[in-house]
Structure 1
Amino acid sequence: MSGLLEIKNLSKSFDTTKVINDFSMTVDEGTICCLVGPNGAGKTTTIDLITGRVKPTSGKIIFVGDDITGEDEHVIARAGIGRKFQVPAVLRDMTVRQNLEVAYSRETNPFRNLFRFRRAGLKKKFDEVAAIAGLARRLDVLAGNLSHGETQWLEIGMVLMQEPRLMLMDEPIAGMTEGEIEKTAHIFKELRKTSTLIVVEHDMGFVREIADVVTVMHMGSLLAQGSISEIEANQRVRDVYLGEQEAA
């Protein structure tokens, strides 16, 4: 495995408040890295910095050897980084099929999008994504009529249609039933075959199920990184994060 994403001494301040403080981590290709920590640890801000939604105060972000620090969101997306937000951003008045088609579009001209989508080989990709997302039998259903879990899976499918090399997932199982969480874990294990994932998550049961590497943040800094067994055995992590969860 090689380092796909490298974050080096990243910092971000809003006015006089430092929310990311000299944070560094490396994400290897073909892995699922779960980013965990107490509320306010800086997890979502880190995702915002990677995707260009927020610009860093200092530090570097290297993706596939290229410095993408401070680039605009569309430039980073085209470089191969896709993001699923905590609240799904789907088009509720369009069908599942139409949402996936729109997500694949990269042209502003709708007629070019139509012809591009119909090119040889694209139907196969569409079918593969629908199958991975578990929505192959729901393609003609309006997105607004999907269950909460199905809506989350649709947005995962929409990100997949963009062919990202790195996928960023912000609390993907929030509000899901136990059955939906189990299916989402299966989807993520399938995604690992073709993509690398960074998953921001609070549910440690889900993290145990999917994570290759767990990165723990605290007050904007790196607290610990390792396998789930190493993290659970780390006394500092237990004191700062796991103990807090047990108390809750």
Structure 2
Amino acid sequence: MAGVLEIRDLHKRFDTHHVIKGFTLDVAEQTLSCLVGPNGAGKTTLMDLISGRLKPSEGSVRFYGDEMTGLSENEIARRGIGRKFQVPAVFRNLTVRDNLQVAYSRQVNPFINMFTFADPGMQRRLDEVCNQVGLQDRLQIEAGLLSHGETQWLEIGMVLMQEPRLLLLDEPIAGMTEVEIEKTARLLKGIRRSATLIVVEHDMGFVREIADVVTVMHMGTLLAQGRIDEIEADKRVRDVYLGTEEEIV
């Protein structure tokens, strides 16, 4: 499989605090990768660096061969990297349909957006995404009235409206019921057929269910990578989660 994301010798420092330390990673196309590790391992910071929310102190992030580290967050999104945060950021007073329509447009000008809403391509994409995230019967509901799981699916749908080639998700099942978690697992597996996903997740049962590849971070470094059975059999990974190692060199 072709390489989508190539991270090389990535560092991030905040004054004297060295958060990401020489991190290197390859992500293959149309894989679902789960990023795991203890609290403070650097997972969210790494996602921020990939998406352009933060700039690296050193190193390279290449997306389909193009360097991303000099681009703004908006420019990176336009290149095809979509990001969903742990806390959904939806327009609560707008309907589900309106939220998806706003997400489709890459323009900030409201007058341009009015014309975009009449775009037949937008309607086709909206229909596709609604069916994908299971909100086709909730289009006229205000987002603020949705359940927690539906709100999470709406935000995933908002990211999907822009047809990202790489989708970054931060703890997508936090606060969900078991039924909602099962639906989210099916949703992410379906997205994998047309895009690549990196999911930050603490729930190892969910990781076992969805992951093609598991990447373990520890203290800003890459500790291990492989299939879930390989990761669970890795003594160094077990030691870190059990707290028997204070530092990995």
Between Structure 1 and Structure 2, how many residues are aligned?
243
Q: Distance in 2 between matches of 1:48 and 1:164?
A: 16
Deviations 1:28-84 (A, max 9, x none): 010001000000000000000011111101010000100111421011001100000
Asked whether the 8 Å contact 2:104–2:122 carries over to 1, the reply is no
Partner residue of 1:157? 157
- TM-score scaled by structure 1? 0.96
Partner residue of 2:48? 48
Q: Distance in 1 between matches of 2:35 and 2:157?
A: 21
Deviations 1:100-129 (A, max 9, x none): 000011123323223223223332211110
Amino acid at match of 1:40: G
- TM-score scaled by structure 2? 0.95
Q: Distance in 1 between matches of 2:123 and 2:158?
A: 15
Q: Distance in 1 between matches of 2:163 and 2:10?
A: 27
Q: Distance in 2 between matches of 1:68 and 1:103?
A: 22
Where structure 2 has 5 or more consecutive residues not aligned to the other structure, the ranges are 244-249
Q: Distance in 2 between matches of 1:12 and 1:2?
A: 27
Identity of aligned residues (%): 67
Partner residue of 2:247? none
Deviations 1:162-190 (A, max 9, x none): 11100000011111111110000000011
Partner residue of 2:85? 85
Q: Which runs of 4+ in 1 moved over 6 A?
A: none
Query: What are the residue-to-residue correspondences of 1:170-189 with 2, within 5 Å?
Result: 170-189=170-189
Q: Distance in 1 between matches of 2:102 and 2:95?
A: 11
Match of 1:240, SS? helix
Cα RMSD over matched residues? 1.0
Partner residue of 1:219? 219
Asked whether the 8 Å contact 1:224–1:231 carries over to 2, the reply is yes
Q: Distance in 2 between matches of 1:121 and 1:73?
A: 25
Amino acid at match of 1:240: V
Asked whether the 8 Å contact 1:133–1:157 carries over to 2, the reply is yes
Asked whether the 8 Å contact 1:56–1:70 carries over to 2, the reply is no
Where structure 1 has 5 or more consecutive residues not aligned to the other structure, the ranges are none
Partner residue of 2:111? 111
Partner residue of 2:64? 64
